[in-house]
Structure 1
Amino acid sequence: MNRKKKKREVDEQLLDAIVEMESSWKQIQEIIEKSIEPTEEIFYIQNLTRENYLFLLREAKWRKISAIRYNK
């Protein structure tokens, strides 16, 4: 029973991280779109954020978790 609770907590943390990373990625995309001359650094940060987001999505898929199950 305790193991299921721990797994659920970790799954919820993963979903929270996915939502946070997605919003960061979208915010960076908006900054780039509004910039006159975006720097290489912002493109680097955008790619890094995107890769982190995709990694978290793959982890959620591997763990077979869905955001629908964990609605608060």
Structure 2
Amino acid sequence: MLFKRKGWLKKEFDEQLLTTFINVKNDWLKQTNLIEKSVDPSDEVLLSVKVAKAKYLYLLKEAKKRNISIGKI
């Protein structure tokens, strides 16, 4: 019975990780697209893109570690 609960919790957190991953990826791509279109981006914008990329890469590593893919959930 304990193992069923653990599997249920894992599935719930995997779904939450996947939705967060997709949101962070979309945010990073929007910011990158904005920088490509801008003439002279400010330092704050460049730093926010670096932070968004770092979040994306961290969540990507975590998803790989947990063996999560979009088709599985």
TM-score, with length taken from structure 1:
0.92
Q: Secondary structure at the match of 1:64?
A: coil
1:51 CA displacement: 0.6
- Which 5+ residue runs of structure 1 have no aligned equivalent? none
Equivalences, count:
70
1:25 CA displacement: 0.3
Match of 2:22 in 1: 19
Match of 2:57 in 1: 54
> Quick one: which of 11, 15, 26 aligns to 1:8?
11
| Percent identity over paired residues | 34
Which structure: larger Rg? 2
RMSD across aligned positions (CA): 0.7
The runs of at least 4 aligned residues of structure 1 exceeding 2 Å deviation read none
- Which 5+ residue runs of structure 2 have no aligned equivalent? none
Q: Secondary structure at the match of 1:5?
A: helix
1:33 equivalenced with 2:36 (yes/no)? yes
CA distance in 1, matches of 2:41, 2:68: 36
* Deviations, residues 6-30 of structure 1 (Å, cap 9, x unaligned): 1000000000011000000010011
